[in-house]
Amino acid sequence: AQSVTQLDSHVSVSEGTPVLLRCNYSSSYSPSLFWYVQHPNKGLQLLLKYTSAATLVKGINGFEAEFKKSETSFHLTKPSAHMSDAAEYFCVVSLSGTYKYIFGTGTRLKVLA
Amino acid sequence: NAGVTQTPKFRILKIGQSMTLQCTQDMNHNYMYWYRQDPGMGLKLIYYSVGAGITDKGEVPNGYNVSRSTTEDFPLRLELAAPSQTSVYFCASSPLSGDGNTIYFGEGSWLTVV
């Protein structure tokens, strides 16, 4: 069975400091993994995705994530937070070719001036 | 570059009323979905469709109906609205294969039942 756990419901960082949003997954097969961002009153926008190619995945707006099979993790990082990064972030796992997408419960990122 | 378009953006319904949330996609995706998002709960799947004429229930289908007469359109019908259906609704689509199985979302529909 597939599952995804976002380890922090809220994360606060100061502007200009690194961001780390943690995601652990469980999957019986090689999964596809995604990070989405949702700004207030907006839809979910794809940040990046892992699909069994390079384990370090670069996304939009300076975000990247590393797939670590041994740790079953897919943590999202950014070297320097910007005020515009304040949003909710969702980690998602899927089996290729299926309809099933499992969503984490989200991490709300707050960026302090 | 429309992607997934859903309407309306905001709606207030009275208890017992019915309404339809419209969704259309222009990416020729086979799969389409309706999710609801409640605070702190992530997204829950209401219904999904693997192609025109084929629909199936997700995790939370009670109180909703869908149809898929074309590849592009996947409307969600709320019958006899209840306060428990106050939520944000997202339509989404994904290809059968390729594109890394990426799922694309509409902008959301905020529904309040009073």
Using one digit for the tens of pLDDT, what is the confidence trace for B41-76?
789 999 999 999 999 999 999 999 999 999 999 999
Q: How confident is the prediction for chain B on average, in pLDDT? A: 93
Nearest to A43 among B45, B102, B107 (CB): B107
When pLDDT is cut at 50, 70 and 90, the band that residue A25 belongs to is very high
**A43: contact with B, CB 8 A cutoff:** yes
Judged by CB atoms closer than 8 Å, whether chains meet at A103 and B42 is answered as yes
Average pLDDT of the residues of chain A: 91
Nearest to A4 by CA among A103, A109, A101: A103
Place of tokens 């897919």: A74
A113: its two tokens: 């001036």
Q: Which residue has the higher pLDDT, B68 or A54?
A: B68
The residue length of chain A stands at 113
So what's the pLDDT on residue B98? 61
Calpha distance B8→A25 (Å, rounded): 34
**Cβ contact A51–B100 (<8 Å):** yes
What's the pLDDT score for residue A30?
A: 75
Contact A97 B42 (CB under 8 A): no
Judged by CB atoms closer than 8 Å, whether chains meet at B108 and A43 is answered as yes
- How far, in Å, CA of A84 to CA of A39, rounded? 9
Q: Please, which pLDDT band fits residue A41 given cuts at 50, 70 and 90?
A: confident
Secondary structure, 3-state, A32-72: EEEEEEECCCCCEEEEEEECCCCCEEECHHHCEEEEECCCC
Going by the DSSP 8-state scheme, the letter that residue A37 receives in this structure is E
